[in-house]
Chain A
Amino acid sequence: EAGVAQSPRYKIIEKRQSVAFWCNPISGHATLYWYQQILGQGPKLLIQFQNNGVVDDSQLPKDRFSAERLKGVDSTLKIQPAKLEDSAVYLCASSLGLGLKSTDTQYFGPGTRLTVL
């Protein structure tokens, strides 16, 4: 079974530029998550989709971050404009269930390491 795919793996941009990350979840998984992981910290949930609807985006900085999950499959996360503090690893995860049960295992992709100069 193919895992969660993410691209690109690495990205370096200058502040005020824009960047986009792509995620392809495991086939058939209803729920997709985007996390931000700053060095030395645990992953922080940015947004959670259930199929193509947003379940939780309370920690997404909406003035500069946006995300979509068209057709309930692939997803893109965009940052525009980027700030220095956005340097982090952006992780995508998916789960078979709706993400409302603590038994819903999340499967993570390898992440995209973003460096903002």
Chain B
Amino acid sequence: LAKTTQPISMDSYEGQEVNITCSHNNIATNDYITWYQQFPSQGPRFIIQGYKTKVTNEVASLFIPADRKSSTLSLPRVSLSDTAVYYCLVGLRLNRDDKIIFGKGTRLHILP
């Protein structure tokens, strides 16, 4: 799987837009980019997935530039309940040597 790099932590305030960027320089042609959200004492939850350009759903938007070497998860008008860890996953498992790697994620802390 393509290795990903995310900021370890971010702080923001309620009502702000938050953008979390994930770098994946060696993304392969067939790879999709998937983001998960994890609240304390819960398992990760799928947020959004995309391949190129922009994807939007009721929770977030995902921006992917043309070279696909990075992606940005955008959370509009965050609230305290958006405090969580956000994981970026990239990759296609072609064989057993490809590992599913969550990494440490980005710990987002929303302040009142």
Of B30, B42, B103, the contact of A42 (CB 8 Å cutoff): B103
Q: What are the residues of chain B within 8 A of A40 when measuring CB–CB? A: 104
User: Which secondary structure dominates where chain A touches chain B?
Assistant: loop
Instruction: Indicate if B41 sits at the interface (CB-CB under 8 A).
Output: yes
Q: How many interface residues does A have (CB within 8 Å)?
A: 29
Instruction: Indicate if A80 sits at the interface (CB-CB under 8 A).
Output: no
Of A42, A59, A91, the contact of B87 (CB 8 Å cutoff): A42
Instruction: Indicate if A65 sits at the interface (CB-CB under 8 A).
Output: no
Interface string of A97-117 (1 = CB under 8 A from B): 001111101111111010000
Q: What are the residues of chain A within 8 A of B92 when measuring CB–CB? A: 100-102
Q: What are the residues of chain B within 8 A of A107 when measuring CB–CB? A: 46
Of B32, B49, B90, B99, the contact of A45 (CB 8 Å cutoff): B99
Interface string of B76-97 (1 = CB under 8 A from A): 0000000001010111111010
B-contacting residues of A (Cβ < 8 Å)? 4, 33, 40-45, 48, 55-56, 58-59, 91-93, 99-103, 105-111, 113
A-contacting residues of B (Cβ < 8 Å)? 30-34, 36, 41-46, 49, 85, 87, 89-94, 96, 99-105
